[in-house]
Structure 1
Amino acid sequence: MKRRATQTWARLGIYAFLICAAAFFLLPLYVMLATSLKSMDEIRLGQLFALPAAPSFDAWRAAWSEACTGVSCEGIRGGFWNSVAITVPSVVLPILLGAINGYALSWWKPRGGEWLFGTLMLGAFIPIQVMIYPLVKLEAAIGIYSSLPGIVVVHIVFAMPIMTLLFRNYYAGLPGELFKAARVDGGGFWRIFVQLVLPMSTPMLIVAAIMQITGVWNDYILGLTFAGRDHLPMTVQLNNVINTTTGERLYNLNMAATMLTSAVPLLVYLISGRWFVRGIAAGAVK
């Protein structure tokens, strides 16, 4: 009886901690959402945590299509489509290349593979800021600086080490007998990869996609440096909206723009979160 009571109190303590942690992390999200739905007259009252008296999406419409980002007042919708154009190839290509690298390094073990893997891991620990200037000079020399291919190449370069690590660890945990049987049946490198390995990689592909989408979509410094004026991502446009405001600072518009900018990674995680947990449990990041 005493043991059962102890377990009950322990469970209540865990629930209390989880509720407090959830409230701590969700409070800023609530403040942003509530503020974005208020008018400026209501915001001036200083009641930060109060619900909107008359909720309105006017600030959201203005943030999307009317807010000024420098000299242009077309909202952040242009930055949204720029972010989509940057994110799609910057997610698909690194995941594909990382899967191939991880597959080769875990099962085929090419000559010099350990040195290659060590070099990639070394690259994962080099700060991005250290590599910006050399990459600027390199891309300028080959003519892709300040362009869409230029920013995509940069994201691929910085994603390759972690993508290779994730896939290598995942594939190394798969039963070796499957691979050996496939080779006995005459399967080559690409046939085994496409017909055997990829169908078993769904949880890890979801993990990699969530990590890459979140990283690329939320990136600011690389987009500002490499994308060029015509391809600025949504995060850069958000910064321009907030910092080019003249006169009264429109907090409801700023919060609405922030919510719109963060909507895509939030939706991706909410939709595929269970796959993310499953991929981690399957050994994707062990």
Structure 2
Amino acid sequence: MTTTSIPAPPPTSIETLSPKRKPRREFGPGSIVKYALVLLFLIIVLMPMYVLIVTSFKSGSDIGVTSQWNLPETWTLASWEKAWDSLHASFIRTFQLAIPVALISSVIGAANGFVLSRWRFPGADVVFTLILFGMFIPYQAVMIPLRDIVTTIGIPPGIPTLVFVHCVYGIPICTLIFRNYYATTVPEELVEAARVDGAGLLRTFAWIILPISIPGFVVTIIWQFTSAWNDYLFAIFLSNTRNGPITIALNALAGAQSPDYAASMAGALITSLPTLVVYVLLGRWFIGGLMAGSVKS
């Protein structure tokens, strides 16, 4: 009877049992230079913001070229009150402009993107190219014909006209974003399963595609809301201070014969606040939604 010897297990040690640790990065001269440059660029970017905020709380006697970096001797909200009195009506009108533009153009872009990515009808590529062509037409080239068109159609001047124009100009970029998103992110099997269950194109889009399109909607809503809120060129041609958005009112506030710099600075901060809030609330989903349709999973 022969016996088979079982080889002994190799000796273990603390080094073999413990997980490998990542090598610690050394904080050398290169890192110091890198962080110093980042800090320098941050200071350069924040310098105008500092002057903007500080000046908005100054009184008229504190404002001057030599004292623009100084803190106010007397902190006052008079400039903010004056700016709000001049801007509050147009501030509300701009919400009436930016919110419908963001929602309407996003929904139309989503429908276009789904059809162009999943329904290969004859001439689909030509249609998509013609839609994208609208992104490359400069506003200045169509401003006068556009004004004639909205006058002929009979759209009321002011916010309704601007809603129509911004929706039309927003459709190309929204279509591009959603077409890439649906073509690279939404699996073909999902659409096929809905088709097998008897769902048509519209029902598939409404009940299957829209609920999983949140990343794309975040991108287009931020894009369109910001574009409509900050627009000045369309606003100056198609509206006025009585029925236009806040950019027109801010220009009137800052462009007087003897401008009130403190009120202008406060007005600029009031004007930029909604877009800042939108980016703070939705910004963490913006890059993810923008990259969701960039690569095929």
Report the TM-score when normalising by structure 1. 0.88
Q: Does 1:64 align with 2:84?
A: yes
**Equivalence for 2:231:** 219
Which runs of structure 1 show a deviation greater than 3 angstroms over 4 or more consecutive aligned residues? 3-18
Aligned partners of 1:121 and 1:165 also within 8 Å: yes
**CA RMSD between the two structures:** 2.2
Distance 1:5 1:236, change over 3 A: same
Aligned partners of 1:146 and 1:228 also within 8 Å: no
Give, in whole Å, the separation in 2 of the partners of 1:182 and 1:52.
65
Aligned partner of 2:150 among 139, 161, 167: 139
Larger Rg computed on CA atoms: 2
Aligned partners of 1:204 and 1:284 also within 8 Å: no
Residues 166-189 of structure 1, C-alpha deviations (whole Å, 9 max, x = no match): 111111112222222222222221
5 Å-filtered alignment, 1:32-181, equals 32-44=52-64, 46-65=66-85, 75-144=86-155, 146-174=157-185, 175-181=187-193
Structure 1: 5+ residue runs without aligned partners? 66-74
User: What count of residue pairs does the alignment treat as equivalent?
Assistant: 273
Equivalent pairs: percent with the same residue? 36
Structure 2: 5+ residue runs without aligned partners? 1-22
**Equivalence for 2:49:** 29
Q: Does 1:196 align with 2:208?
A: yes
Report the TM-score when normalising by structure 2. 0.85
**Equivalence for 1:70:** none
Q: Does 1:262 align with 2:272?
A: yes
Aligned partners of 2:114 and 2:182 also within 8 Å: yes
Distance 1:284 1:46, change over 3 A: farther
Once the two structures are overlaid, the 10-residue window that deviates more, 46-55 or 29-38, is 46-55
Q: Does 1:184 align with 2:196?
A: yes
Give, in whole Å, the separation in 2 of the partners of 1:85 and 1:244.
27
SS at match of 2:58: coil
Once the two structures are overlaid, the 10-residue window that deviates more, 25-34 or 222-231, is 222-231
SS at match of 2:137: coil
Aligned partners of 2:158 and 2:238 also within 8 Å: yes
